[in-house]
Amino acid sequence: MKVRYFSETDTLYIEFRDAQVAETRDLDENTMLDVDAEGNICAITVERAAERTGIPQFSYEQVSA
């Protein structure tokens, strides 16, 4: 999983897995969902991320079951 923030365009890109994207679906005017041929989520793109997400505060926590 990779999380990238592009400050020059205020775009947040969250890649869940490196796979061939078959389709990009618009969830709303500022959010796109990339899926593979089987419909599995590959990535999410969030435009205007600074006002729509917690960027630049970001944390990651792995929790064991």
Encode pLDDT of 10-59 as tens digits. 999 999 999 999 999 999 999 999 999 999 999 999 999 999 988 777 77
Q: What is the pLDDT of residue 35?
A: 98
Distance (Å, whole) CA 23 – CA 2: 19
* Confidence (pTM): 0.84
Distance (Å, whole) CA 45 – CA 19: 15
Q: Is the dihedral of CA 11, 23, 20, 58 positive or negative?
A: positive
